[in-house]
Amino acid sequence: MTSTIPEQSGKRFEERDDYGNYEANLRFLREAGLQPGAGPLLEIGSGKGRMLDLLRREGHNAQGVEVNESMIQESRRLYGDLPIQKVDGAALPFEDQTFSTVVSFDVFEHIPDSDAHLAEVRRVLKSGGTYLLQTPNKWTNVVFETIRWRSFTAFRVDHCSLHSYREIKQRFAKHGFDTQFFDIPVVTDFFRWKVRRYLGWPGVALLRVANPDRFPLALRTNFYVRAGVRPSHGVGPQ
């Protein structure tokens, strides 16, 4: 699975066709060992469909869910009739043990009820299934979002479920997942572009001094997590 950064310099930040660090996300999927033919795959939060389109073109039996109807319509304009269902809340419209893999990028932090979300993910995963996700680190994201919104509280409406390294391990363990954190560099062209967009050139200069890719995993700006369902756990909360 390969990728190049899209040319987005002619677009406003809000008009980009993906809502995360696409290059870093792809690297994570490669390093996590995701392969076509591994079984049905669900992407939660498909957005405009860029990742889902790639996964399907790579041979994955993949479909998605999305809460924003306008995003679903935009995905069809960009990529054709992608199999993305509209959902509301944490409930997933699938039978128990439907998927071998669930993926989400920049989604977990937006879901008000993290426990309901994880219970649903585990319900739709097959025995031995895997949840691959990326979500910001609470401690570093709070600083960035406070500067971005110029408020200590405004960002919490959107990023309502930020977690620390320890909190992720504890919450996932409560739902029967074993977690593994991956060392994925995030300082890509997209990351620099985002820093420059909101923090200006001083922020870009700071990256040269304090590159987050050199931080310990617990202090990274973004967590890349492979969460495997423990074989001893069946469907439903324990």
CATH of the domain at 147: 3.40.50.150
Inside any domain, residue 163: yes
51 in a structural domain: yes
Mean pLDDT, residues 177-185 taken together: 97
Answer whether residue 58 is part of any domain. Answer: yes
Total number of domains in the chain: 1
| Domain annotation covers residue 104 | yes
**pLDDT-based confidence at residue 18 (cuts at 50, 70, 90):** low
- Of residues 9 and 130, more confidently modeled: 130
pLDDT at res. 3: 39
The predicted structure's pLDDT at residue 75: 96
Share of the chain above pLDDT 90, in %: 63
Identify whether 201 is part of a domain: no
Instruction: Provide the residue range defining the domain that includes 38.
Output: 17-185+218-229
- Whether the CB-CB separation of 92 and 119 falls below 8 Å is answered with no
